[in-house]
Every structure is written in structure tokens, then in C-alpha cells.
Structure 1
Amino acid sequence: MEINYIKIAETFAIILIYFLLRNFTNRVIERTKNEKLIQPVRSLIVKRAIGLFLLIVSLIIISLIWGVDENELFVFVGSALTVVGVALFAQWSILSNITASIIIFFNHHVKLGDEVRILEGKDYVIEGKVKDLGLFFISLETKEGEEITIPNNVFISKSIQSKSTPQ
């Protein structure tokens, strides 16, 4: 019976750590959203993705605490990851764009309203104002009023000049 009290205490500790980490990451995401003028919907998607990852890790740790056999757990997790991996391999560009979106969210200097020049090559330049930073695409509005959408994975791989708009 005493062992169960230890397991219960460890479970509560993992749950507490989960909520503290989720709260911390949500605050970091909110601060980043406000600094970079990112749409609330986009930050919500990033919060959910990180929250789901933290939840899965917490559930795995709790399962181990309560005596689930490590080999069986790792076979299950490995099988699930294999299925997900095969599904995402078929859609590698989607995964690539989602990953690029998270990188842009946290580490890219471009924000809504910025004027950007994307240097496609020696003779080809795309210019426009950033209208939307989405999960899969970035939308630019040209001086002629046209809208150009660029996949996130392409956007982070190009040389970009930006001019921030005054706040």
C-alpha cells in the first residue's frame, strides 16, 4: 500500500510539472506573438502543438510510473510513430511547412506589415507587404495589389531584405 502512495505522489508531481511547463510555454508564445505582431490564431496553433507534445510525454512518464512494461510501451510508441511517419512522409511538404512555420514564429525577424524583398535569384525579386503569416504559407501584397503566397519552407530558405513598419 505504501508503494501506491509513492506512485500517487510521483503522478501528481508529473501533472504539476506538465501544467507548469505548459503555462511557461504559453507565456513565451504570447510574448513572442505580441513582439512580432502575429495573429492570435497562429499562436493558438503553436500552443496546441506544444501542449499536445507535453501531454504525450507526461502520459508516457505516468505510464512508466504505474508499471507499464517499458518494452511494451516502446513497441506501442514505435509502432504509432512508424504509422505517423509513413503518413507524413507521403505529405513531407506539409510537415516541412509546419516546422518552418514554428521556426518563423520564434526566430524570424519578419512580422506583419513589414515590406520585404525576397531574392529569388540574380534577376528575379519578389517584393510586397506581409499580410498573413500562416501555418503553411506567407501572404504578401504587392504594390499592384496582387497577393502572392509563398510556402513557409521556401520563405525561410531564401535571402530576405525587410523594412519594418513603424508601430
Structure 2
Amino acid sequence: MEEYQIQIIQTTVIIVSYIVINTVSQYIIKKVGVKFTYSKPRIKVIKKLIHLIYFVLIFNIILFIWGVDQSELMYFITSLLTVLGIAFFAQWSIISNITSSLIIFFNHPVNIGDTITIMDKDFNIEGQVSDVGIFFLSIRNNENEKITIPNNVFIQKMIKKKG
């Protein structure tokens, strides 16, 4: 038992740190969501995504603490990333949309309820932003039609915000 005492203490510190950091992050995300009146499902998705990122990071740190052979771990990780890379290459838009949803959530000036015009060379889209999901942004136009735009396309377009 004494030979593992340092690893147990380090693991405990890491887990407690993880709980504190995750709790603070969840609180900040909730406050940002309330401040900008984001929908509850949108806030929930962002919370889960941040939680997953933290969990993977902490899991890797704990593996390092317990002395998992780094070369074997690297072979495993590179093999896993290669398979995931090939799978995601075909689905690059999924990762792009998830990343774009984070950018829209934290740093885009458009909020739910804003009336906007998406300026495109072929056809402008005008309406009120009704929802921002993890993959799509929804707009209701003047005819009460729902228009969905992939998040990665939305952040690449010029937006004119009214009012």
C-alpha cells in the first residue's frame, strides 16, 4: 500500500481539481447562457462538450500518474487517432459544426431573438434567430418558415443585425 501512496494522493488531488474546475466551468457556462438568453438545450450541449473535454484530459493525466507505459499508450492513442481521423475525414463537417457552435455560443454577436440578414451573393436570408443547436442555426422568416443553416456556414457569412 505504501508504494502506491504517492499515486493515490496525486490521483485524489487531480480528481478533486477536476470536480472544482468542472463545477466552475459549468457555472460560468450557465451564467453566459442566462446573460445572452440562450436556450436550455443549447446550454446543456455546451456543458456536456466541456465536461467531455475535461474528462478525457483528466483520464490521461491519471494514466500518466499510475505509470502506464508511455510508448504503449502512444501506440494505442496514435492508432485510435488514426482510425478516428479517417472516420472524421469523411465527416469533417461534424467537427466543424461542433466547433462553430462553440464559437457562436461564446463569441458571436448574434443572439436568439435577434432579427438578422445573412448576406449571400445569390440569395439573402432574413429572419429572426429562433435557436442555435450544436449543428444548425434556425431562423424564422417573415412567412413563418423555419430555415436551418449549418453553423460552420453561418460563421463564414456576413451578417447584418437589425436593432
Sort the TM-score into its range (normalised by shorter chain): over 0.9
Matched, 1:143 2:131: no
Deviations 1:34-64 (A, max 9, x none): 1221111111111111111111111111111
Match of 2:156 in 1: 157
Q: Distance in 2 between matches of 1:154 and 1:25?
A: 28
Moved over 4 A (4+): none
Matched, 1:84 2:81: no
Matched, 1:27 2:31: no
Give runs of aligned pairs for residues 6-155 of structure 1, distance below 5 A: 6-121=6-121, 124-155=123-154
Deviations 1:71-126 (A, max 9, x none): 111211121122111111111111111111111011111111100011112x6321
Q: Distance in 1 between matches of 2:76 and 2:130?
A: 43
Q: Distance in 1 between matches of 2:19 and 2:79?
A: 28
Match of 1:5 in 2: 5
SS in 2 for 1:59: helix
- TM-score (ref. length: structure 1): 0.91
Q: Distance in 2 between matches of 1:55 and 1:117?
A: 39
Which amino acid is the alignment partner of residue 125 of structure 1?
Answer: N
Gaps of 5+ in 2: none
Q: Distance in 1 between matches of 2:74 and 2:54?
A: 17
Gaps of 5+ in 1: none
SS in 2 for 1:67: coil
